[in-house]
Amino acid sequence: MSSASTTAGGELVRVDGLVKSYGSTRAVRGASFGIAPGEIHALCGHNGAGKSTVVKMLSGQEVPDDGTIRVGAEVVDLRSRRVAQRGGIALVDQELSVVPTLTVAENLLLGDIKASWVNRRRTSGVRFRTLLDSVGLGHVGLDQRLSELGIGERQLIEIARALGQDARLVILDEPTATLSDVESAYVYTAVRSVAAAGCAVLFVSHRLGEVLDLSDRVTVMRDGAVVATTPVAGLTIDSLIVQMLGEAPHRLGRSTGPDIEGSAEVLTVSGLTVPGRVGNFDITLRAGRVYAVAGQLGSGASDVLRAIAGLVPAATAGITVDGVTVRPGRPAAAIRAGIAFVSNDRKAEGLFLDKPVSWNLLATRLPHVTRLGVLDRRRWSAALAALIDLCGLDGRRAGHDVGSLSGGNQQKVFVGRCLGRDDVRVLLLDDPTRGVDVGGRAAIHALLRDAADRGMTVLFSSTDLGELLDLADVVVTMHKGVAVRRHDGDTAGSVLLREMTHGAATVTEERR
């Protein structure tokens, strides 16, 4: 933890009564907390608690509907990222903003409003080398292109860039989610160094162990409101979970409940390994059930689904569908075996946004709506009508570009493309309700439950506790690329959260 006092010198940054709504949804409800100079202050909460919206308001990406933000004694109006940076606030977002085609030095200059129009190579080079050393990248050359570096090194470059902006408040939003333990240790060292120099740090993380090890105080949000701000000396992982969820953690033993009696084994995966991401993952799926792989960003849950779908060339595993071996790393082989995959990025890896809803729904079943390679209008119309009815879509919009639909309806189209097909035995969905509102989420859950009831095997990944508890019959938790535990039937959310954020508890951790 930082040795700086959290009270000496007063608060460097203070938010009071922050409110932010999106339509009828109130994302943040009267949030208030302060951060002292030299303090590492953690912001925690389950997905949807309001953390990201607070970060966006502090970093100038969103304007509060009500409330105030103070930096020092001054109330500031942070209308943009540039205004926030001029006010001394730097953000390291969980989504990387570095540019792979540029050099390390060029990336360190990006977005720095204090940088000179003339790049004085000698003086800037000395400063850049100091920044790289501070995050453990002394071995990286300034003229190297970022495309030559790994994802962890790119994240550290992003952090170094923020540290180079001489900020008074540095916001780190999930900075270690994609990093190894060694790379994370460099981040911790850099953060402590910044705090020791008098800078305030707001640290957002799902990894509760690192929150307790690194932070001075923790502010917890739930349902858009701040429920507590507590010194870490008075917290344990379990007490943090209680604040986040409003329920006490229950210690459950490993479930021994069997799958549905008599249901057939459809998919078996043994020893699935993705170098640097997933190690020795096993799972067996039966017909008519909904399974979930639960893990935070960087846990390896998404990698498991992509590997089963044949989208990870480096993956190794024993995979069978209905007893037939499927070679990993070959998406065409997975498709032939009856595996369908729904990505977590429908815009980049799923939908044709400038094409009609009808095209998107039927894009993967052309053999069923053509005759001798020629479109059969009657077959096309019948298949389209059945899918629109199944997905609960407005038939009047079948000719509209799918990009004009709401996020929820876009996701219905993406999921619906895989439904009602005899050739799909296993449906894989990576974060199936990402960016979808409550109504759309319920509709998609109903689609997936109906698919399972009709005999399909469904496997999805998610970070959302509510989704895991509402939808999954079986949950396998993951942490740092390793399966922690399998849960059959009813499971306490606090147990899942603990395993997702901290892995399997050791005896020492149980006593914390």
Q: pLDDT per residue over 7-58, tens digit each?
A: 344 889 999 999 998 877 788 999 999 999 999 999 998 766 888 889 999 9
Rounded to 5 degrees, what are φ and ψ at 284? -125, 130
Six token digits for residue 239: 């007490």
CA distance linking residue 311 with residue 329, whole number of Å: 6
* Separate counts of helices (H) and strands (E) for the chain: 18, 22
Contact 414, 342 (CB under 8 A): yes
Contact 510, 264 (CB under 8 A): no
Rounded to 5 degrees, what are φ and ψ at 317? -175, 160
Q: What percent of the chain has pLDDT over 70?
A: 87
pLDDT at 473 over 80: yes
CA distance linking residue 68 with residue 434, whole number of Å: 30
Q: What is the pLDDT of residue 190?
A: 82
CA distance linking residue 4 with residue 10, whole number of Å: 12
CA distance linking residue 379 with residue 383, whole number of Å: 6
3-state secondary structure (DSSP) of residue 434:
coil
Q: Which amino acid is at 419?
A: L
b/e for 38-59, b at 16 or more Cβ within 10 A?
A: bbbbbbbbbebbbbbbbbbbbb
Distances (CA, A) of 293 to 272, 378, 458, 486: 14, 40, 11, 9
47 or 314, higher pLDDT: 314
Determine the average pLDDT of the residues in 340-360. Answer: 79
3-state secondary structure (DSSP) of residue 146:
helix
pLDDT at 251 over 50: no
Contact 36, 75 (CB under 8 A): no
Window from 126-140, 255-269, 336-350, 353-367 with minimum mean pLDDT: 255-269
**Residues 6+ positions from 142 with CB-CB distance below 8 Å:** 103, 104, 105, 125, 128, 129, 132
3-state secondary structure (DSSP) of residue 353:
coil
Contact 509, 479 (CB under 8 A): no
DSSP 147: G
Cross-strand pairs, 462: 294
Angle at CA of residue 173, ends 169 and 176, nearest 5°? 115
Nearest to residue 60, comparing CAs of 45, 73, 49, 71?
71
Domains of the chain: 13-245 (3.40.50.300), 257-338+425-512 (3.40.50.300), 350-423 (no CATH)
CA distance linking residue 78 with residue 60, whole number of Å: 5
Q: What is the pLDDT of residue 438?
A: 56
CA distance linking residue 43 with residue 137, whole number of Å: 27
pLDDT grade, residue 435 (50/70/90)? low
Q: Which amino acid is at 143?
A: D
pLDDT grade, residue 493 (50/70/90)? confident
CA distance linking residue 294 with residue 471, whole number of Å: 12
Q: What is the pLDDT of residue 231?
A: 94
Q: pLDDT per residue over 76-121, tens digit each?
A: 888 888 888 888 898 888 667 788 899 998 888 886 656 554 555 5
